Amino acid sequence: MTSIIRVRARHVSIPLDVQTGIARRQITERHYGLVEVTGSDGITGIGFCYVGHRAGGLFTQAVSDLLAHRILGEDAYRVEGLWEEMYQEALLHGRSGTVLRAISAINNAMWDRNARAAGLPLYRFIGASATDRVPAYASGGYYLPGKTPADLAEECAGHVASGFTAVKIKVGGGKDLAEEEARVRAVRERIGSDVLLMLDANNAWSDFPTALQFIRAFEPYRPYWIEEPFSPDDIDNHARLAAATSIPVATGEIETGRWRFKELIARDAVAILQTDACVCGGISEFRRIAATAASHGLTLAPHWFHDLHVHLVASIPNAKWVEFFPDSQVLNFRELVDVQLQTENGDVLLPQTPGLGFGFVEKAVEAYAVAPWTDAKKTAVVKAAVA
């Protein structure tokens, strides 16, 4: 039996080159949680997640103090059973938020480790649907100082020139309705009618009448979806908006656990699920959510972290797109990755090397680290010696 002999965790903080805006906040840095899980065969898998713009140390504490002891010494292939045990262990500390992101990172590291041990790319280890490439949309359109609607339109046109047939921009962060409509209109006129245009509101609106006013202004430009129009907890208004507009409602990027997704689906509050395997509970939970969505004829378009989600889109038939970030301006996690995904004609080419197909750039990790690695193996040995 291959057992888990080491669990390491760390968090890093990477500043953005330029202060970047979304609907309700300005972003100057991003914190990421990193995990390594090593088996007795010497093979290590990696996991990671986004943990906001401060207090990333909560992630490493959740991994080292709350969760690592549940998996140390256990069969490295008992992935589903250990997921259940970690979730049960965390019931009183948080069934969502940073604690579930820590469970996600560990779960993903275990899947990665086992795929590397099998010598297979992760999507093949899970069970491939695609084997060469998967569709992607270019994600961007953020608010930057001095950025005009014409600048935004030019940005999107650049993505189309690179081969993408779908692009996404931010909405909801402008000063008024006219400004927001001008941004959407400029992009649609520049990219033409055949390119899909997704809109991401990042929880911009707190009431239904205001949201509907903006949505009505956007409808003539035929958005493919409106993403996160309300707080993730405001399922009622998601359902009201879904019933009131022809634009499909997409959400779920910061939802956790199959139960919340079940409620979204049951209440007709969503047309496209944006489940994030670094947030929802890991690859194990992502697959359960995807199966539920498939039973209801719903599509998934995973949020963020294209380096991970390319494998899930390639292995789950009702997962349609990878959200691809062409540079590190916003998704600066790319600076920690030693192998970058390649695109061709709007598709992401699938990795052909074992596991996730990349590792951490150790020099970058050291440069951005907030604290040293925590090492559960060392903790476990000390406790055993004391006993």
Determine the residue type at 137: Y
Q: Is 187 left (phi over 0), alpha (psi -120 to 50) or beta?
A: alpha
Q: 334, 281, 329, 324: which is closest to 302 by C-alpha?
A: 324
Mark whether 170 is an active-site residue.
yes
Strand stretches in the chain, DSSP E:
4-21, 26-39, 44-50, 133-139, 166-170, 196-200, 225-227, 249-251, 272-273, 299-300, 322-324, 343-344, 347-349, 374-375
Q: Which residue, among 277, 305, 347, 311, has the nearest Cα to 124 in the 3D structure? A: 311
Cα(22)–Cα(191) distance, rounded to whole angstroms?
22
d(CA 73, CA 242): 48
Tokens 């359902």 belong to residue: 239
Catalytic hit among 303, 306, 309, 311: 303
> Annotated catalytic, 238?
no
DSSP string, 234-258: -HHHHHHHHHH-SSPEEE-TT--HH
Give the β-pairing of 4-21 and 374-375: antiparallel
- Cβ-in-10-Å burial (0-12, 13-18, 19+) of 6 comes to middle
Strand 249-251 with 322-324, pairing: unpaired
Block residue for tokens 């504490």: 61
Residues 6 or more apart in contact with residue 204 via CB below 8 angstroms:
23, 24, 171, 172, 173, 211, 214, 228, 229
Catalytic residue among 11, 31, 159, 170: 170
Q: Which residues are catalytic?
A: 170, 303
